[in-house]
Amino acid sequence: MSHGWRVHAWVLMCNHILLEVPPTPEGGLSDAELLKRLRAIYSDVLVAEVENRLTEVRKAIPEGRAGEDLAREAHERFT
């Protein structure tokens, strides 16, 4: 499974790792791509919270209860 980064070095101790992270694609990541990448490095609980927040915001946008800026904020927090 590709998450968009390459490991250049790692150490068998603690949490030392050197990653190369490619630039964010023009137009940003989709919700699905963001969640896929988050699942590789965060707990299921945290990813579920992000997914729930994005779902709530995406439902609220067409109803006029939220703007696209709220979804963008969720993405920016983790990208």
* Per-residue confidence band for 15, with pLDDT thresholds at 50, 70 and 90: low
pLDDT score, position 50: 92
Q: What percent of the chain has pLDDT over 90?
A: 19
Mean pLDDT over residues 11-20, rounded?
A: 66
Where is pLDDT greater, at 66 or 52?
A: 52
pLDDT score, position 35: 93
Res. 58: pLDDT tops 90: no
Structural tokens at position 7 = 């490991």
Strands 17-20 and 6-10: antiparallel
DSSP the chain: ---S-EEEEE-SSTT-EEEE-PPPPTT---HHHHHHHHHHHS-HHHHHHHHHHHHHHHHHTTTTSS-HHHHHHHHHHH-
Domain regions of the chain by residue span:
26-78
